């Protein structure tokens, strides 16, 4: 490009970052600010909102970035939203280095997006110190639960700016309990003090059961049974956050959810439609400034029916359209929100597989994804298609550049063509 991308970005975003970014970056590198006494020193956040939508459960470019309308199952994404931003057609999960051990799966891909770093990730039950720290935990339960050794972009954001935890938010699927706790890392000086919050049906069920016990809905043997159910739900969170109850803002959110949808679970949407509803309600009621929505219904293709995958892509596309419309209708989000749409992993294109669209075999197609960065033209270049190869771990540092914080442990090259 002939210009340093960070310099270019600073030039075009000076109107809202002047006097904020410099102070924020100084704060981000100062571990002594983990002290609550120093929290007031952090600046208020005045940049754009960012909503990262994981086109998840693994999505191939062939079904989403395809000019053939008969083969594209994400027409809103490709034909409408892409005009409002920059589409990277050839993003790769690019490390084939054996010592790194990059996996093309959902939890790993989500961690790469969050941290901007490829790590050799193993479930926490493989950690030799885990059993010592959590002697009462069933190790099998956490065989596919990952904890990153480097901070994620939520931690960078909250350490840089004075933003409450509920305004940095993950929206998660009820079928992905192993991804429920990516709210903070194990990195010294970061971690729980800068965590984000999570909304999911698991969180609602846990809150609701605890609430009904407090309301005295059951007695005697039935009460003991319900207490055991609650303890089982709480054990899913080995870090014991859920056992302490959720923060007041989330409790009020679930109170309103319950008043509208009731207790049964038969009324509220399910699957990725549920995540769309949670996201739109969160924008109205919690006002997140940084949000990650982990769609995942594409993964039902493992049951062996190809249409389960293609229909799931269409459902994500419908959800994306609804979320963007909700932003456009809201004065605080309209013209001040950037969307980052990117899969967690790709899928195999081997038509001879008994079960189509696999992603666990580390084939080249499973490494092939895409990324769209869309938003107001003062932030994002409009209507651009980038065909050159870029890397999945560039997403985290790009989010940092867009919001004005430094992702110091992440891959430090950004997706520069997207910047206006």
Q: Return per-residue pLDDT of the chain as tens, 420 residues.
A: 444 444 444 444 434 443 334 333 333 333 333 444 444 589 999 999 999 999 988 899 999 999 999 999 999 999 999 999 999 999 999 755 555 567 777 788 899 999 999 987 766 666 666 666 666 666 555 566 778 889 999 999 999 999 999 999 999 987 777 777 789 998 988 999 999 999 999 999 999 999 999 999 999 999 999 999 998 888 877 776 777 789 999 999 999 999 999 999 899 999 999 999 999 999 999 999 999 999 999 887 877 788 888 999 999 999 999 999 999 999 999 999 999 999 998 887 776 665 667 777 677 888 899 999 999 999 999 999 999 999 999 999 999 999 999 999 999 899 999 997
Torsion angle of alpha carbons 165, 393, 323, 154, nearest 10°? Answer: 0
Q: What are the angstrom distances between the C-alpha of 410 and each of 43, 162, 387?
A: 22, 22, 24
Relative orientation angle of helices 394-403 and 153-160, to the nearest 10 degrees = 20
Of 222, 201, 213, 317, the residue nearest 269 (C-alpha)? 201
Q: What are the angstrom distances between the C-alpha of 362 and each of 93, 117, 254, 346, 382?
A: 10, 18, 40, 10, 34
Instruction: Kindly give, in sequence order, each residue whose CB lies less than 8 Å from that of residue 306, ignoring residues fewer than 6 positions away.
Output: 356, 357
Torsion angle of alpha carbons 218, 220, 226, 227, nearest 10°? Answer: 120
Instruction: Kindly give, in sequence order, each residue whose CB lies less than 8 Å from that of residue 339, ignoring residues fewer than 6 positions away.
Output: 50, 51, 52, 53, 81, 85, 320, 324, 372, 373, 374, 375
Q: What are phi and psi of 13, to 5 degrees?
A: -115, 15
Q: What are the angstrom distances between the C-alpha of 311 and each of 63, 76, 319, 338?
A: 10, 14, 12, 26
pTM, two decimal places: 0.86
- 307 vs 315: CA distance, rounded Å: 12
- 120 vs 148: CA distance, rounded Å: 10
Question: Positive or negative CA dihedral for 182, 104, 89, 54?
Answer: negative
Please tell me the predicted confidence (pLDDT) of residue 142: 56
Residues counted in the chain: 420
Please tell me the predicted confidence (pLDDT) of residue 119: 82
Please tell me the predicted confidence (pLDDT) of residue 245: 84
- 211 vs 120: CA distance, rounded Å: 40
What is the SS3 assignment for 28? Answer: helix
Of 182, 196, 189, the residue nearest 408 (C-alpha)? 189
> Are the CB atoms for 27 and 33 separated by under 8 Å?
yes
Fold (topology level) of 5-28+41-196+275-418: Alkaline Phosphatase, subunit A (3.40.720)
For the chain, the domains span 5-28+41-196+275-418
From start to end of 226-324, where are the E strands?
290-294
From start to end of 105-253, where are the E strands?
168-171, 197-199
Question: Positive or negative CA dihedral for 341, 195, 207, 134?
Answer: positive
């Amino acid at each position: 490009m002939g210009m340093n991308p960070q310099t270019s970005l600073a030039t075009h975003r000076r109107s809202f970052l002047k006097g904020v970014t410099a102070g924020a970056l100084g704060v981000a590198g100062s571990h002594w600010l983990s002290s609550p006494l120093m929290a007031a020193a952090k600046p208020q956040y005045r940049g754009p909102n960012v909503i990262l939508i994981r086109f998840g459960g693994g999505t191939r470019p062939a079904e989403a970035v395809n000019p053939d309308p008969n083969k594209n199952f994400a027409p809103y994404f490709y034909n409408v939203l892409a005009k409002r931003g920059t589409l990277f057609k050839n993003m790769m999960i690019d490390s084939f280095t054996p010592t790194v051990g990059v996996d093309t799966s959902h939890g790993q891909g989500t961690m790469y997006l969050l941290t901007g770093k490829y790590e050799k990730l193993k479930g926490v039950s493989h950690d030799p110190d885990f059993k010592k720290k959590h002697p009462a935990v069933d190790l099998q339960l956490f065989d596919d639960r990952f904890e990153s050794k480097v901070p994620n972009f939520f931690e960078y954001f909250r350490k840089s700016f004075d933003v409450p935890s509920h305004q940095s938010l993950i929206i998660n699927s009820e079928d992905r309990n192993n991804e429920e706790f990516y709210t903070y890392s194990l990195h010294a000086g970061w971690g729980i003090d800068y965590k984000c919050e999570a909304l999911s049906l698991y969180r609602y069920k846990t809150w609701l059961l605890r609430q009904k016990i407090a309301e005295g809905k059951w007695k005697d043997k039935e009460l003991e049974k319900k207490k055991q159910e609650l303890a089982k739900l709480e054990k899913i969170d080995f870090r014991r956050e859920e056992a302490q109850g959720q923060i007041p803002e989330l409790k009020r959110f679930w109170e309103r959810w319950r008043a509208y949808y009731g207790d049964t679970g038969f009324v509220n949407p399910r699957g990725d439609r549920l995540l769309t509803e949670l996201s739109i309600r969160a924008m109205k009621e919690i006002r997140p400034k940084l949000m990650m929505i982990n769609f995942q219904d594409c993964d039902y293709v493992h049951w062996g029916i190809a249409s389960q995958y293609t229909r799931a892509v269409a459902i994500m596309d419908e959800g994306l359209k609804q979320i963007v419309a909700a932003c456009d209708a809201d004065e605080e989000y309209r013209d001040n929100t950037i969307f980052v749409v990117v899969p967690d992993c790709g899928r195999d294109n081997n038509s001879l597989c008994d079960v189509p669209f696999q992603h666990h075999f580390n084939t080249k197609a499973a490494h092939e994804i895409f990324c769209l960065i869309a938003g107001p033209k003062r932030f994002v270049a409009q209507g651009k298609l980038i065909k050159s190869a870029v890397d999945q771990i560039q997403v985290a540092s790009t989010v940092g550049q867009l919001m004005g914080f430094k992702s110091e442990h992440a891959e430090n090259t950004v997706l520069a063509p997207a910047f206006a």
